[in-house]
């Protein structure tokens, strides 16, 4: 079920957005939560599909909250709703699907929602890895993960500028990834799309990262990587 969140410190604006969301979805099922402040939103640990976010919340910046929501789940769609169009350039960092200026016109709202639904449909076709850490659920597209590093009690997922931690075991994460990932070492799962070289006992990844390859896995790693790199070549 689609989870939509409205965050606006103006009660009238929240009420209007709730009404517009209900009209847009008509009889289709969705889950809606609302927050009235920066602090209120921060206390809620939730997975979000769509975030309708005011920018000037009085006690904090909606742009900063949206950044946090996108960090927790890069697939979250953000629509900014504000009376301050001067924030539009600053909001680009969050890559919102739409920027609505108050007072909200129903036709503009429907265009924004149509664009968000298109984006969400595309995101749902992309395989994702979902993990839990400190009671917070985070999700990241497999294409964005370069490697996963395992220690005795936790795993660290490296996905561009995002670094996620989880207490989930190797076996659990292996079930969520696909054939582009290879276990070259007992402590590493590597996305072969990011490998640019195999020298000695290490894989070289984009960005200069080196991942060790254990001696027992070197032959299989080399063969699997070669097959991956030459797929589709005839």
Q: What is the pLDDT of residue 173?
A: 93
Single residue among 124, 148, 182 that ends a domain in this structure: 124
CA angle 18, 61, 107 (to 5 degrees): 35
Q: Return the CATH number at 182.
A: 2.40.50.1020
Q: What is the pLDDT of residue 234?
A: 37
Q: Return the CATH number at 84.
A: 3.40.50.2300
pTM exceeding 0.85: no
SS3 27: coil
Q: Please check whether residues 134 and 146 belong to one and the same domain.
A: yes
Exposure of 128 by Cβ count < 10 A (0-12 exposed, 13-18 middle, 19+ buried)? Answer: middle
Quick one: which of 115, 104, 127, 106 has its CA closest to 78?
115
Single residue among 104, 124, 144 that ends a domain in this structure: 124
CA 10 to chain centroid: 28
Quick one: which of 175, 189, 165 has its CA closest to 71?
165
Single residue among 65, 95, 124 that ends a domain in this structure: 124
Taking only the tens place, the pLDDT of each residue in 42-53 is 887 667 889 999
Q: Please check whether residues 159 and 89 belong to one and the same domain.
A: no
Taking only the tens place, the pLDDT of each residue in 153-170 is 899 999 988 899 999 989
Please give the tally of structural domains in the chain: 2
147 lies in which domain range? 128-230
pLDDT cut 70: percent of the chain above it? 96
Q: Please check whether residues 119 and 196 belong to one and the same domain.
A: no
Strands 202-205 and 195-199: antiparallel
- Contacts of 227 by beta carbon, 8 Å cutoff, 6+ apart: none
Q: Please check whether residues 69 and 157 belong to one and the same domain.
A: no
């Amino acid at each position: 079920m689609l989870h939509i969140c409205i965050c606006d410190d103006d009660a009238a604006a929240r009420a209007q957005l709730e009404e517009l969301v209900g009209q847009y979805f008509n009889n289709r099922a969705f889950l809606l939560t609302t927050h009235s402040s920066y602090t209120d939103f921060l206390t809620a640990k939730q997975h979000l599909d769509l975030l309708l976010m005011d920018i000037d919340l009085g006690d904090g910046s909606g742009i900063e909250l949206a950044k946090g929501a996108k960090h927790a789940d890069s697939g979250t769609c953000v629509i900014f709703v504000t009376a301050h169009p001067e924030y539009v350039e600053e909001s680009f960092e969050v890559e919102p699907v739409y920027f609505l200026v108050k007072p909200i016109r129903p036709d503009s709202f429907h265009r924004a929602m149509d664009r968000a639904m298109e984006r969400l449909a595309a995101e749902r076709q992309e395989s994702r890895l979902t993990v839990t850490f400190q009671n917070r659920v985070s999700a990241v597209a497999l294409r964005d993960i370069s490697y996963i590093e395992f220690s005795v009690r936790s795993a660290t997922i490296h996905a561009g500028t995002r670094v996620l931690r989880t207490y989930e075991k190797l076996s659990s994460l292996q079930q969520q990834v696909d054939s582009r990932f290879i276990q070259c070492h007992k402590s590493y799962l590597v996305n072969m799309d990011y490998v640019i070289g195999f020298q000695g006992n290490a894989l070289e990844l984009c960005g200069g990262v080196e991942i060790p390859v254990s001696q027992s896995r070197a032959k299989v790693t080399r063969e699997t990587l070669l097959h991956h790199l030459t797929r589709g070549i005839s």
